Amino acid sequence: MDRPLTDRERAVLDWMLLGDFDGADAYRAQVAELRVRGICGCGCPTIDFVTDHPGMASQLPREGWLRDSSVQVSLFARNGVLTMLDLTDYVGLTTQFPDPSDLVEASEK
């Protein structure tokens, strides 16, 4: 069963879509209608969005890092449609998305 985004998921997603990159306006337009289809089974907060678009997903050009940590946040799309908000902790297990104010772009890490 799908569900709406939580406030924290929405805040991180909005942060990930800041700035100018190819397709940014089209991706931002999708946010209001996004629904979460599922979460990762490992205990991390990674979420999959409801989509009917087949094919391999690609990472969008902006990535975030939790300041002074091993936690990376990435956003993926398939055929121009947002598919997943991913959190990867390269050292341990982070169980919730960080506050966007604690994220920095990869170039600032």
Is residue 2 assigned to a domain?
no
Is residue 66 assigned to a domain?
yes
- SS3 (DSSP) at 28: helix
> What is the model's pLDDT at position 1?
79
Is residue 43 assigned to a domain?
yes
Q: Range of 32's domain?
A: 7-108
pLDDT tens track, the chain, 109 positions: 799 999 999 999 999 999 999 999 999 999 999 999 999 999 999 999 998 877 678 999 989 999 999 999 999 999 999 999 999 999 999 999 999 999 999 888 7
Q: Are 89 and 70 in contact (CB under 8 A)?
A: yes
> What domain count does the chain have?
1
> What is the model's pLDDT at position 108?
82
Residues with Cβ within 8 Å of residue 30, at least 6 apart in sequence: 81, 82
What pTM was computed for the model?
A: 0.93
Is residue 62 assigned to a domain?
yes
Is residue 1 assigned to a domain?
no
> What is the model's pLDDT at position 101?
97
> What is the model's pLDDT at position 52?
80
Is residue 95 assigned to a domain?
yes
> What is the model's pLDDT at position 56?
77
